[in-house]
C-alpha cells in the first residue's frame, strides 16, 4: 500500500447483495437446536418432535407438550443467510392450526439477540402457506408461535426458508492521482473476535480508479464487526487508499 495509514470504518449498515432472488433452502433436520415443550410420542413409539417440520413429510408434525403459549423452534442454519420468504404448513385439523407467529433472527447464540423479521396473522388452511415482504440476515432463526386457532398447542407439519448466503460488502475510497491505478488484485483479511480471529479472506480484483469509491461484494463467515483489516497487494503495483469501509 502506498500510504502509511488507512482509515478503517465498520458500519452497521445492512448488506445490499447483488441479487436478492435467492432459492428455497434444502431442509436439514440438524438445523433444529432447541424447541419449547416436550416431544409427544404416540402409542406406536413415533415421536412428533420439532425436527418433523423439516422432514418433508406433511403427514407428520411437531406437537409440543406441556407449554400453553409462546411455542417456538430455534434453527441454526450453520452460516448466515439473508432470508426473504418463509413457508409454514399446519397439520390442517384446524384446532391446532397456527394463527399468529413471528420469525426472528439472531447473529449469535451466546446469548441470542432476537430481532423480529416477520410477524404474520395466518388463516386456517391445511396447505403450505407462503409469507414474504421482508429481508433479514442471521444464522439463527426462531419461529415463535404466539396463537393458534383455538388456543391448543400448534401442530406444525412443515417449515421452509427462502434466501441467499449472506453477502458482505467492502468499499475503498481512492483519491491519489498517481498511484491509484493498480491493476493487481488486493487480498483483504478481516479479524473479528466473533468468528475467532483472522477468519475472513477475500480477493478484490484490480483496476482501482482515482477519485472513485470501489465496492466489492463477497460471501464469508459472520464476523459481525471488523476489528482489524489487513490488505495485501499482488505484483509490483501500488494503490493509495484513503478509507476502507466494511458493511
> What does the alpha-carbon distance between residue 49 and residue 79 come to, in Å, rounded to a whole number?
24
User: Which residues are 130's β-sheet partners?
Assistant: 87
- 116 occurs within a structural domain: yes
pTM, 2 dp: 0.67
140 and 209 co-located in one domain: no
Which residue range forms the structural domain that includes residue 56? Answer: 23-165
- 239 occurs within a structural domain: yes
92 and 182 co-located in one domain: no
- 177 occurs within a structural domain: yes
What number is the average pLDDT over the span 172-178? 62
Tens of pLDDT, residue by residue over 109-124, are 989 999 999 999 998 8
**Which of 165, 199, 227 corresponds to the end of one domain?**
165
64 and 175 co-located in one domain: no
194 and 155 co-located in one domain: no
pLDDT of residue 18: 42
Tens of pLDDT, residue by residue over 2-41, are 333 334 333 333 334 444 458 999 999 999 999 999 999 9
The answer, yes or no, to whether residue 50 has pLDDT greater than 70, is: yes
Half-sphere exposure (CA, 13 Å, Cβ side) for 236? 0
pLDDT of residue 221: 65
Phi and psi at 188, nearest 5°, equal -110, 125
99 and 183 co-located in one domain: no
DSSP state of 236: S
What number is the average pLDDT over the span 206-223? 71
148 and 53 co-located in one domain: yes
- 2 occurs within a structural domain: no
Tens of pLDDT, residue by residue over 56-81, are 999 999 999 999 999 999 999 988 89
Peptide bond before residue 111 is cis, with ω within 30 degrees of 0:
yes
> What does the alpha-carbon distance between residue 34 and residue 50 come to, in Å, rounded to a whole number?
8
123 and 240 co-located in one domain: no
- 100 occurs within a structural domain: yes
**Which of 112, 139, 165 corresponds to the end of one domain?**
165
> What does the alpha-carbon distance between residue 213 and residue 126 come to, in Å, rounded to a whole number?
51
**Which of 134, 150, 165 corresponds to the end of one domain?**
165
Contacts of 186 (CB under 8 A, 6+ apart): 172, 203, 204, 206, 231, 232, 233, 234, 239
Average pLDDT, the chain: 82
Q: How many domains does the chain have?
A: 2
pLDDT of residue 238: 61
Tens of pLDDT, residue by residue over 134-166, are 999 899 999 999 999 999 999 999 999 999 887
- Burial (0-12, 13-18, 19+ Cβ within 10 Å), 119: middle
- 1 occurs within a structural domain: no
Amino acid at each position: 500500500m502506498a500510504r502509511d495509514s488507512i482509515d478503517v470504518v465498520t458500519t452497521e449498515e445492512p448488506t445490499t447483495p447483488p441479487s436478492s432472488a435467492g432459492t428455497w433452502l434444502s431442509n436439514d433436520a440438524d438445523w433444529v437446536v432447541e424447541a419449547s415443550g416436550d416431544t409427544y410420542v404416540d402409542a406406536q413409539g413415533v415421536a412428533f418432535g420439532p425436527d418433523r417440520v423439516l422432514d418433508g413429510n406433511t403427514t407428520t408434525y411437531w406437537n409440543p407438550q406441556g407449554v400453553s403459549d409462546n411455542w417456538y423452534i430455534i434453527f441454526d442454519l450453520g452460516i448466515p443467510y439473508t432470508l426473504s420468504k418463509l413457508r409454514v404448513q399446519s397439520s390442517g385439523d384446524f384446532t391446532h392450526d397456527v394463527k399468529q407467529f413471528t420469525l426472528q433472527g439472531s447473529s449469535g447464540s451466546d446469548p441470542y439477540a432476537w430481532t423480529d423479521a416477520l410477524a404474520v396473522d395466518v388463516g386456517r388452511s391445511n396447505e403450505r402457506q407462503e409469507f414474504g415482504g421482508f429481508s433479514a440476515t442471521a444464522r439463527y432463526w426462531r419461529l415463535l408461535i404466539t396463537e393458534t386457532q383455538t388456543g391448543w398447542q400448534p401442530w406444525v407439519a412443515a417449515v421452509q426458508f427462502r434466501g441467499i448466503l449472506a453477502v458482505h460488502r467492502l468499499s475503498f475510497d481512492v483519491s491519489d492521482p498517481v498511484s491509484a491505478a493498480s491493476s493487481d488484485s488486493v487480498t483483504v483479511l478481516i479479524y473479528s473476535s466473533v468468528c475467532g480471529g483472522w477468519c475472513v479472506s477475500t480477493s478484490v480484483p484490480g483496476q482501482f480508479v482515482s477519485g472513485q469509491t470501489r465496492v466489492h461484494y463477497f460471501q464469508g463467515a459472520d464476523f459481525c464487526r471488523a476489528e482489524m483489516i489487513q490488505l495485501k497487494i499482488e505484483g509490483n503495483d501500488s494503490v493509495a487508499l484513503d478509507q476502507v469501509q466494511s458493511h
